[in-house]
Amino acid sequence: MNLLDYLPGVPDFPKPGILFRDISPLLANPGAFKEATLQLEALTQHFDYSHILGIESRGFIFGTAIAYQTHKGLALARKPNKLPLASHRESYGLEYGSDSLEIAQSTLPAGSRVLIVDDVLATGGTIIAASKLLKKAGFEVAGAITLLEIDGLNGGEVLTQNGITNKSVLIA
């Protein structure tokens, strides 16, 4: 099964020059979704980790499935102002603007080694922010996995330069 068949590109979204990859068709197809989660789960074998961090919002989907399959705890990196509890925050730049991620201070036990999960790796900014957020909260970053790395944006190289090991199912 070619998972790229279920990840159509939407040119010039959210702004000119950006190719948005829509994961909706993959999620809507049970076989494609199962295959994607199995391939992501296989990537987890490259890492020593105790917990998973899913990045809002599509990282929640894959992070949940992988946490279930691997019997690991799941934490969520939320967009700003979604958490009622005391939280840590990290701001970052995107290809088309800026944003922030938050994690509740009481989410993970001390000493957790956390694997970051997201759907798409573009320039690396979101995963770097998640890594900084985890470190700020006192946790270790085991690495990151993504379903798709967008070729030509050098996100994987940027993560490596920032000390983050990353594995992706697809590069396109």
Among candidate residues 35, 41, 58, 102, the one labeled active-site is: 58
Query: Residue 39: inside a domain, yes or no?
Result: no
Q: Cα angle at 103 between 62 and 39, to 5 degrees?
A: 15
Give the tens place of pLDDT for each residue, 88-110. 888 887 665 677 899 987 789 99
CATH number of the domain where residue 144 is located: 3.40.50.2020
Domain assignment present for residue 71? The answer is yes
Residue 151 lies in a domain: yes
State yes or no: pLDDT of 16 exceeds 90: no
Average pLDDT, the chain: 92
Q: What is the tens place of the pLDDT at every residue in 35-63? A: 999 999 999 999 999 999 999 999 999 99
Residue 16 domain-assigned (yes or no): no
Residue 149 annotated as catalytic? no
> What pLDDT is stored for residue 96 in this prediction?
59
Q: What pLDDT is recorded for position 13?
A: 84
Active-site choice (21, 35, 78, 95): 95
17 within domain boundaries: no
Q: Of 12-21, 24-33, 68-77, 149-158, give the lowest mean pLDDT range.
A: 12-21
Whether residue 25 is contained in a domain is answered as no
Give a yes or no: residue 84 inside a domain. yes
What is the pLDDT, as a whole number, of residue 2? 96
Residue 34: inside a domain, yes or no? no
What is the percent of the chain where pLDDT is above 70?
96
Domain that residue 136 falls in: 48-171
What's the domain count of the chain? 1
Active site residue 140: no
